[in-house]
A = this chain, B = another copy of it.
Amino acid sequence: MTKVSFLNDYSEMGCPEIIEKLSQIKLEKNLPYMNDLHTKNAKQYIREKIGDLKAEILFMTTGTQVNLVAAAAFLRPHESIICVEDAHINVHETGSIESTGHKCIPVKGSYGKVTVEDIEKVCGPKYWDNAGILCVKPKMVYISQTTEIGTFYTKEDLIALRKVCDKYNLYLYCDGARLGSALACSDVSLECLAKYTDSFYIGGAKNGAIFGEALVILNDSLKTDIGFIAKQNGAVLAKGWIISFQFEILMQNGLYERNGIHSTKMAMFLYERLKELDFKFFVESKSNQIFPIFSDKMIVELKKDILFDIIDEYDNHRKIVRFVTSWMTKIEDINYLIDRIKEIKSFKNLKR
């Protein structure tokens, strides 16, 4: 992979601080199954940061795994999850939620976000008319921060969702695969997220960790036996500390936040440059994923030495593309991309 890449935020090993720490502890012997000191420390740092010293915390290996363990642990068989249509659990986790026996109830959403109206529609009296036990029971709202299209929930959004969740006795669960960037662009802190949700996860792999995600459970009634459910789903590493030492580092000295700020800044820098070049965007994202609209010709040329994804068709000669930045993205990468775009534009202009 020698091309400059804006393909995703999971092409890199891990940030220097983590690689260095790994090197330091390489000869340690640690107790298995999360009974080690790194795990103890990592949990403590997270608890302090979110302002809940009783939070239950579990370290797992993939986001899909965390989401399916949460579904399996939190829900009874007939209980289902409300999410937007393009939610990761609904379209890009190979039916893992359904494989645990639970149904996703997709709602339209607005700018990639579940709205209060969406929930009212699914949980209100109309959903239940003539139905009763024939319908699955909505029990959890799944949101992701940031969303699939790079937007984010504000504190106000969360407060409103919490209120409607309380009204209908629903859990509010947040997928934090890209929480690093969300912290940088939104007014929602880790503490705020912990206040208004029942559970969420802190994404490591896309924000500096080699791998690993941290499930955080705030709601006491959801904590019982969570370790059993994780183990049953193959989500418990005997060498638990090889994930938790990473969170031990990420949660100290603002490293997690710094990584998110960097990736977000890089995306915004690129966003501004593209704006100057009069590109339109599919959605106004402020996070580390941006979605400009490029002509098919531009895409063909650019693909020659830049890696990025095409998301969808926009019209019959343009497409929505995705550029993703990470903790490792360099300003030079962006300048190179912008220069290439300018070249292609001017070349095309000359030709015509």
Binding site for B on A (CB under 8 A): 1, 5, 7-8, 10-14, 16, 19, 22-23, 25-33, 36, 60-62, 64-69, 72-73, 76-78, 80, 91-96, 98-104, 129-137, 205, 210-211, 225, 227-239, 242, 309-311, 328
Contacts and interface: CB of A to CB of B under 8 A. Distances in A.
- Count the copies: 4
Interface centre among A10, A27, A73, A77 (most CB of B within 10 A): A77
Contacts of A137: 225, 228
A10 B91 CA distance: 36
Given A22-B22, A77-B72, A92-B134, A62 B236 contact: yes
A205 to B, nearest CB: 6
A3 to B, nearest CB: 9
A128 to B, nearest CB: 12
A11 to B, nearest CB: 4
Contacts of A25: 13
Nearest to A2: B29
A91 B33 CA distance: 17
A232 B13 contact: no
Given A22-B19, A92-B135, A234 B61 contact: yes
Nearest to A311: B130
Contacts of A328: 29
B236 A64 contact: yes
Contacts of A205: 237-239
8 shortest A-B CB distances, which residue pairs? Answer: A65-B234, A78-B228, A95-B103, A94-B232, A64-B234, A95-B136, A133-B227, A98-B103
Nearest to A4: B29
